[in-house]
A and B are shown apart, each in its own frame.
Chain A
């Protein structure tokens, strides 16, 4: 546990140092790359709450990521360009959707849960594509990045710092939820729901709450992603993105606090390094994923920090 803490701190500092070094070297592009890591990591932190702690394999978290993105895009189109209110709206809308989707899909488990969450996400995807008011299939460009008080968000470094701070906040929230009584019940629901019920705690409301909180975090990441690319595309809602978030978590370490960051860093680095060599870089991603699943079930964090110990 102690070792994992040091690794976590090192990872957090590494992500902070990367853009500073890049700027010092005059390579502003790498700041954007680091921002992409932070935003995808935050999205995965959200999913990690449901998937890692709760064992809820949601194959539809792109819906919440996309809802966050469209919240940012649509509000910006209405001249509401302050980031904090946008994040709140993104989180609230996604939370309400998740309460509805969760109330239906959490009545199932296993493969059925995976398929139902996928189905809901695809419904939202096709709805957005066929909705011409906000770009439909073409997506929705943001003229300028949304505003944050006293910060010039158009400069890469300040925007990275915003994303970085939100990532840290998301990680703190995750740790806080995991270590408290709610987190104990949620992890118990994953390990043995019959036992949890026999102790007098219904698993369903616990899981639903986790699913909603999970969606809210992922939605904030979606809003940041829209600002990062200054473009909201329906592909944010596509099942590929749901899959990528799951891959990020598995690569980094399922249920581990910094698993999403480790996984997102690995994912973005592979995408960038291998992507510049071949268009079929995902072939190699598949190989790495296969290796992780077969030989390093704890992901990158598990590989360097050892098995998780639960108190």
Chain B
């Protein structure tokens, strides 16, 4: 078994009396897609926030590439190679699609305190950024400000920015949200290839995508992981069916 890139151990987080993360232990291994599913309000987004550094858990540890990252802030975790996409597209609205990805490339190079040399004449930023846009199919939209892109294009730009970081792991928070059946299908295909670059922790409501992509699925229900395993086991798990899939059956 490959060593875990990301490992959560006994994570607990309460908001008042409400336990949103209840003793969660979970890991992400090289080359895999690990899907995190659960009904609305199960605590998936909070868990993503805890991993990315936006929310501090009450107890438990988070290890990333063998290192305890619990005390690091969001920027420091991202710098170590944890790239996330947001549930609601979070872009730089005034910058063009290209400049959005260029900023990711610049962040990876750790050069935001470099002065001079206009970025728009800097091939070491433009070329890698353009390559990422081509991968997600946005090369024709490179000069369009992010605010003017369509919803689907913004979802793709989110992923291009995450890729621009050349991360060690992806945290993708509902990448399919609002994509429509055609868009979801092509994005599913794309993410299938993305796992070659780095493992993906995928939060997603689109069950077709989840079962097509995931090597493992963990089911979160009221902050607790009630089942974890390969897709065919999860499909059969009676507790899961009752808690979650049952709603759909």
Of B34-42, B60-68, B114-122, the one contacting chain A is: B114-122
A184 within 8 A of B: yes
B103 within 8 A of A: yes
Q: Specify which chain B residues have a CB less than 8 angstroms from the CB of A179 in the assembled complex.
A: 118-120
Which listed residue (B84, B90, B103) contacts A184, Cβ 8 A?
Answer: B103
Interface class of chain A by DSSP: helix
Please give the distance in Å from A138's CB to the nearest CB on chain B: 42
A278 within 8 A of B: no
Say yes or no: A199 contacts B118, CB within 8 Å: no
Q: Specify which chain B residues have a CB less than 8 angstroms from the CB of A176 in the assembled complex.
A: 115-116
Please give the distance in Å from B71's CB to the nearest CB on chain A: 15
Q: Kindly state the interface size class of chain A when it binds its partner.
A: 20 to 34
Say yes or no: A185 contacts B115, CB within 8 Å: no
Given contacts A191-B93, A310-B95, is CB(A200)–CB(B114) below 8 Å?
no
Say yes or no: B165 contacts A194, CB within 8 Å: no
Assembly CA distance A200 to B93 (angstroms): 18
Which listed residue (B75, B99, B115) contacts A200, Cβ 8 A?
Answer: B75
Assembly CA distance A226 to B93 (angstroms): 41
Say yes or no: A192 contacts B119, CB within 8 Å: no
A209 within 8 A of B: yes
For chain B, the count of residues having a C-beta within 8 Å of the partner chain is: 44
- Which chain A residues have a beta carbon within 8 Å of chain B's beta carbons? 176-177, 179-185, 187-188, 191-192, 194-202, 205-206, 209, 308-311
B112 within 8 A of A: yes
Say yes or no: B119 contacts A181, CB within 8 Å: yes
Q: Mark B53-79, 1 if CB is under 8 A from A, else 0.
A: 010000000000000000001111111
B201 within 8 A of A: no
Q: A188-B103, A198-B84, A200-B75 are in contact. List 15 more A-B contacts (CB 8 A).
A: A176-B115, A179-B119, A180-B114, A180-B118, A181-B112, A182-B112, A184-B103, A184-B106, A191-B92, A194-B74, A197-B73, A199-B165, A200-B107, A200-B108, A205-B113
Nearest A residue to B52, CB-CB = A198
Q: Mark B96-130, 1 if CB is under 8 A from A, else 0.
A: 10110011101110111111111110100100000
Q: Specify which chain A residues have a CB less than 8 angstroms from the CB of B117 in the assembled complex.
A: 180-181
